[in-house]
Structure 1
Amino acid sequence: MVRHRHMVCAACRRRKSKCDGGSPRCSACVAANSPCQYDKAPSVAYVRTLQKRIEELESRAAASTSMPVSSSLVEPTPADLDDQPISLNAGGHVSYHNSTSAIHETPVEEPMQDQSYTGSLSVTNEPNAAEIRRALVLDAATQKTVESLHLEASLAHARIPKEVAENLMRLHWCWLHPSFLFVYRPAFTRHMSLLNQQAAPYCTVTLIKVLYAHSCRFLRDPDTVWSSDNHGETFRQVVDRLTSEAKVALAMETLNQPCIPTIQALLQQSAREIACGNSSAAWLYSGMAFRMAIDLGIHVSPDILQSHTSSFSPEDIEIRKRLFWSLYAWDKNMSLYLGRMPNFLLGADTMSRDFLDDFSEQEPWTPFYWGVPEASGLPAYPPVPGQVISCFKSLCTLCRILARIMLELYSFPTTTNDKSVAQASNAKNISFLSIKDAIDTWWSNLPPSLRILTSELPSLSPPPHITSLNLMYNTTLILLHRPRVGGNPQSVSSAVRQSWEICRNATTSIYKILNFCHNCSVPTGNIPRDKLASSF
């Protein structure tokens, strides 16, 4: 075996493991069954770019010695703004390594190339944004009409009948998808047909199996739709098989190059584990998703990414934005449910919540039941606009407020002397007033169609993602005011009495909303477990 002296392959460098320099593949990559590639030496042009950058920094450092101290407060130059922790790996894909990293390489700027849509990808370009929006919405409508055909490519991998696969996928799009938008449906559907061609960047067999296994929990009486005599295995065996195969595939994929479908599968598996009461497993799966997302630079604003690479189409940008906020919202829900500090925080200040594909906003939503015999006795549910996008955007804003509550009101000072405790208490009082204004503004700006007023309950329960949003709002109110109550409702302080009243009213609202859903055509069993548990 030919060996490269003092060389480390890209995979071993990423894993920070020892590399023997073997060719064509090192022994570590052979054992891990992963691609092995030795990065080429930097080009002369790249070296010259670095030399020029060093000269610029040296000249600015020399000039700064003759300036007053206040000069450090001037606005950054364009060169500063371009100094972002973005790298391109050996495959030309975006990755995230800060300048302190031993493997950080600033990509050489390249001229932007034409994409599948004409013009700039920036949403600030209104005419182009409108054109992109029309194209994305049209594609979403088109992909929905051919979803059943594309589904056939997954049947051989999941080993379930087409009718079962179709119904499981319908359960997913109805009950699971609208709350967090983990998966971008048009791209997922389109690439599902490519599963057998090994060229499906937004759909993998692992993701398919996770979705099917997760949707199975909505069948309350599988025997009504499944016969072990006809299929050779019981429905429980099908669920266990899909879950086991998905977990094994996820374990293998976490060792390979990160990709968006793997992140989505990890999030889905985390949601399934939390629904089944396996909180530790859910925490671990979500943590891997967060770190893989940062590795891919999902938290970096598309405007910054486009200055470094021209490989992203408008659909790619839309998917990355949605996935970022899915990760952000799921992190806050997990933290709320488990009583832990949030982890996924980078990028929230710069990532846009302007989603161009709003097809699901006005798409009719109706509850879909399969394997639920009692559903036949429920009253007819008239189709209503799903309002999926506006609900999700409101959830993201609320999660930003929730993150502030956790970090600013429930964190502890690093030191415990009297002065630090007093300073922390004063800072928390200031934060409380600021957060209170933020949540009041959020509620006043919430569209009336997304509000559930317990004094004016509708005749039918809204879709579960809207119900969950209102549960989250009332839970956030309780978390905000609970530290001020301190378990003393008889305090003479008017501020404490007001906080106690707000907590009591929010708790009453949660009870009324859940009781209302239980008695209507959308049962509470289809509301995510973390939303229910964290409401109390």
Structure 2
Amino acid sequence: MAQRLQEAEKQLAEMRSGRESTPASESGGGATTDQGFRPVVIPAHPAVGTVGHLSPTRPPATNSTHHPSPLDTGAGNTAFQSSSGIASHTKQTPAARDTRTMPQDSALTDVSVDEHGEICYYGPTSAVHDPPQLDSPLSLATSATNPSVSSKADARSAVAAFARESATWEDFALGNASLETGIPRAVLAKLLHVHWAWVSPMFTWVYRPAFVRDMATGGRYYSEFLLTVICSHAAKYQDGEYADMLLARARRLLGNAIQEPSSIPTVQALLQLSARDLAQGSISRAWVYSGIAFRMASDLGLQHSGPDLRGMGAIDLEVRRRHFWSCYFWDKATSLYAGRLPAVTEVLHPDTLDLLDDSTDLDIWSPYYGNSLNLTKFTQNQYPPMRNYAVSTFVSSCKLSMIIHDIIVQLYYRRNRTNTEETIKDVKSRLDSWRENSPRHLRYDPDHLPTICPPPHIISQNLLYFTTVILTHRPFWSIPSYYKVCISASRSIEALVLLLESTFGLENITYLMGYCIYTGASAILEDAKCNKGPASQTLKTYLRALNAGMKTCPLLERSLQIIVKGLNRYPSSSSMNLSGHSQSQGVAEVDFHLNAATANSYIPAFPYLGPDMSMDFCGSSYLGNQNPDSMSMLDCFPEMQTDFGELLYTHVD
């Protein structure tokens, strides 16, 4: 161990002196990768024995390896206010929704360094902010004059070297964390493997190299609170006896964490607590946790993480960008289920999605961990080697979430209906473009699926795409062509679910998969009640999936109840005739004024706001005399809030 530490310190010294150079090669997606590097995966067979030789003392020399810009404190106003490099979604017509960048001088007034050398974020209206001078260490400049990141190639080299360095600390970090938390090393190693394989790839809440290195050195990107939450979240997949204990400990640590200055590990932990509570059905608590996380992220100024932010090292910028996009994506996921407006309404410049470290795309994804973990239907080690593609999946999902944001705001919220037709055209065009431009290794055609399912996060993204197609067309389901698009997307979701079931089963589906399954069921429900074609069999698949998924995601019970309740209603008269209409019929020939039977039979887009069920934040007992329109809630029945008369004379293809 001492020899490994000496080698690591020598490598770090070479990095600081600029003597180490790492070649970078362009990948197909525009990102670069060191082809010879694979991040160290937690060993398949954990070391047996004591960990006494792993000293809890942090090597002092390693603290200087982190780039000097502190990120862990600051102050802000509202969540993610617009500034440099940020494109706002609010109140834009579809034609004007292209990403726009505010002047650099605007961001210059928002980010500064306080008297303690900490990064601060204050908006231009702040009464406690003294704008920095142009020669401030944190002033903004173009990347060409930025001494921290002189070029993207240099930045990629620095990040690749850092990833290799962090692998050196893996074993030491596990030993230290075991001593600090009291969790047996073997258990800790297995839970972290579950996290990196099953939890992390979809939302990428934690950047592994920074977390592992700082878990060993006590750096700013690690905390006991974060580690405990990660383990408690992963424990539900395998070690149920540890799950309750770890969750109780995490909640105790939460009380202290939120009293401290904002930090990235606290934000990461809150997001994962939000995810866990959402899956357990504690929707209000999950919503509050994520809200605190978004405020802390704004407090840290994560929206100021573009390549022109001076004074930041490549590693710091990589962590900040990844974490901002994690917040953005998770915000859309929670907004979908809760039926509420997104809280994170701005995005960084699209260039920030060109992440510097895409090395995990080359990792081999495995559902196994030694002889103690097998989350497939295959016997040990029969699952064929498949690449992880975690980074490209995350980047592509973030791009899709930008479209989802506009669908929620433009199509489901009480909006200005004069732009409805233009919005539909724009969203459909962007969805088609997203699908066409997605990496080929992430696209799965439901009509030509493999016999063995790829890693679940890849299937999850495909499920989310077809769900987004349904959400786009569903408010206008009385248009025959739109209704058929929803039916087709629902059957595509079924095909993907069957593929997932054949390899992994349905007991460990995630919340997001469950939401996609629910949405597919909502689209096929009317046809199933009328016994049209294969709709009944498709619905049985969805009901089986939701029932199985309740084991690890109790939240799905509510969605299942809504679907079953919908089956007991009479079929809508309009849906019984939709499939008989000709595609050439115009909108004027369709009866857009849905009758009461139609409204009563249709499932809401958002299962949390189920019909005839108690609704958090929506019932009259909670609102008193307030106008429900004043609440930031999405319509339970969005199809009833659309003025179809505006589409009366023009049929949108």
TM-score between the two structures when normalised by the length of structure 1? 0.72
Distance 1:76 1:470 in 2: 30
Matches within 5 A, 1:232-271: 236=241, 238-271=242-275
SS of corresponding position for 1:263: helix
- Are 2:391 and 1:389 aligned? yes
| Aligned equivalents of 1:401, 1:391: Cα separation in 2 | 16
- Which residue in the other structure is 2:313 paired with? 313
Matched, 1:481 2:473: yes
The aligned residue for residue 231 of structure 1 is none
Deviation at 1:112, TM superposition (A): 5.3
Seen in structure 2, the aligned counterparts of structure 1 residues 482 and 430 have a Cα distance that, compared at 3 Å, is same
2:135 matches 1:133: no
Alpha-carbon displacement from aligned partner over 1:379-421 (angstroms, at most 9, x marks no partner): 71122221111111110110000000011111114xxxxxxxx
- What one-letter code is carried by the residue in structure 1 that aligns with 2:275? A
Q: In structure 2, how many angstroms separate the alpha carbons of the residues matched to 1:122 and 1:354?
A: 20
CA shift, 1:535, in A, is: 3.7
Seen in structure 2, the aligned counterparts of structure 1 residues 364 and 122 have a Cα distance that, compared at 3 Å, is farther
**Aligned partners of 1:122 and 1:342: how far apart in 2?**
36
What corresponds to 1:153 in structure 2? 176
Residue in 2 that maps onto 1:497: 480
**1:333-377 Cα distance to aligned partner (Å, 9 max, x none):** 111122111111223456621101111111111213545587563
Number of the residue aligned with 2:198: 175
Question: Which of 89, 92, 101 is matched with 2:117 structurally?
Answer: 92
Q: CA deviation at 1:94?
A: 1.8
Is the Cα–Cα contact under 8 Å of residues 362 and 387 in structure 1 kept in the other structure? yes
Aligned to 2:547: none
Deviations 1:262-300 (A, max 9, x none): 111111111111222222221111111100000110012
**AA in 1 matched with 2:468:** T
Amino acid in structure 2 at the alignment position of 1:440:
D
What's 1:162 paired with? Answer: 185
Partner Cα separation in structure 2 for residue 170 and residue 163 of structure 1? 11
Q: Distance in 1 between matches of 2:392 and 2:432?
A: 18
3-state DSSP class of the match of 2:368?
coil
Q: Find the aligned partners of 1:164 and 1:257 in 2 and give their Cα distance.
A: 31
Specify the alignment match of 1:342 in structure 2: 342
2:320 is aligned with what amino acid?
Answer: R
Any conservation in 2 of the 1:337–1:534 contact (CA below 8 Å)? no
Aligned position for 2:454? 462
Task: Give the alignment of 1:73-472 within 5 angstroms.
Answer: 80-81=105-106, 83-110=108-135, 128-144=151-167, 146-195=169-218, 200-219=219-238, 222=239, 236=241, 238-303=242-307, 305-306=309-310, 310=311, 312-349=312-349, 352-368=352-368, 370-371=372-373, 377=379, 380-413=382-415, 424-472=416-464
What is the rounded CA distance, in whole Å, between the counterparts of 1:76 and 1:474 in structure 2? 31
Matched-pair contact (CA < 8 Å) for 1:153–1:194? no
| Aligned amino acid, residue 452 of structure 1 | Y
Letter in 1 for 2:180: H
Cα distance in structure 2, aligned partners of 1:525 and 1:513: 15
Q: CA deviation at 1:249?
A: 1.4
Q: What corresponds to 1:516 in structure 2?
A: 499
CA deviation map 1:91-118 (0-9, x unaligned): 32222211222212212333659xxxx9
Decide whether aligned partners of structure 1 residues 510 and 190 sit closer, same or farther in structure 2, where only a CA change above 3 A counts: same
Amino acid at match of 2:331: D
Measured in 2, the distance between the counterparts of 1:208 and 1:301 equals 25
Separation in structure 1 between the aligned mates of residue 280 and residue 363 of structure 2, nearest angstrom: 30
Letter in 1 for 2:512: D
SS in 2 for 1:377: coil
CA distance in 1, matches of 2:380, 2:101: 62
Secondary structure, counterpart of 2:347 in structure 1: coil
Distance change in 2, residues 1:76/1:330 (3 Å): closer
1:426 offset after TM fit, Å? Answer: 2.5
CA separation in 2, counterparts of 1:379 and 1:293?
A: 40
Aligned-pair distance for 1:464? 1.0
What is the SS of the residue equivalent to 1:151? helix
Q: Give CA-to-partner distance per residue, 1:293-334, whole Å, 9 cap, x none.
A: 00110012434532xxx2x21100000000010000000011
Q: Secondary structure at the match of 1:87?
A: strand
Give 3-state SS (helix, strand or coil) of 1:189's partner.
Answer: helix
Instruction: Give aligned pairs, total.
Output: 414
CA change 1:157–1:335 in 2 (3 A) is same
Change (3 A) 1:121 1:361: farther
Residues 1:89 and 1:249: Cα distance change in structure 2 (over 3 Å): farther
Distance across 1 between alignment mates of 2:255 and 2:376: 38
Q: Which runs of 5+ in 2 are unaligned?
A: 1-99, 519-653
**Relative to structure 1, is the Cα distance of residues 122 and 301 closer, same or farther in structure 2, using a 3 angstrom cutoff?**
farther
Determine what percentage of the aligned residue pairs are the same residue.
Answer: 33
- Write the letter of the residue equivalent to 1:453: D
Q: In terms of mean alpha carbon deviation, does 152-161 or 375-384 score higher?
A: 375-384
Residue 256 of structure 2 aligns to a residue whose secondary structure is helix
**Deviation sequence 1:441-464 (CA, Å, 0-9, x none):** 001111221012111011210111
Distance 1:425 1:81, change over 3 A: closer
Please give the alpha-carbon distance, in whole angstroms, between the structure 2 residues aligned to 1:453 and 1:141.
36
- Counterpart of 1:12 in structure 2 is none
Q: Deviation of residue 244 (structure 1)?
A: 1.4
Instruction: Identify which range, 85-94 or 98-107, moves more after superposition.
Output: 85-94
**Unmatched runs of 5 consecutive residues or more in structure 1:** 1-74, 223-234, 414-423, 489-495
Cα distance in structure 2, aligned partners of 1:123 and 1:355: 17
TM-score (norm 2): 0.60
Structure 1 position 81, deviation (Å): 4.6
- The structure carrying a bigger helix percent of its residues is 1
- Secondary structure of 2:120's counterpart equals strand
User: Does the residue aligned with 1:456 lie in a helix, a strand or coil?
Assistant: coil
1:528 correspondence with 2:506: no
| Cα RMSD for the two superposed structures | 2.7
Q: Give how far 1:131 is off.
A: 2.7
Instruction: Check whether the contact 1:141–1:359 (CA below 8 A) recurs between aligned residues.
Output: no
Question: Is the Cα–Cα contact under 8 Å of residues 368 and 380 in structure 2 kept in the other structure?
Answer: no
Distance 1:321 1:500, change over 3 A: same
Task: Please tell me whether the aligned partners of residues 307 and 352 of structure 2 are also in contact (alpha carbons under 8 angstroms).
Answer: no
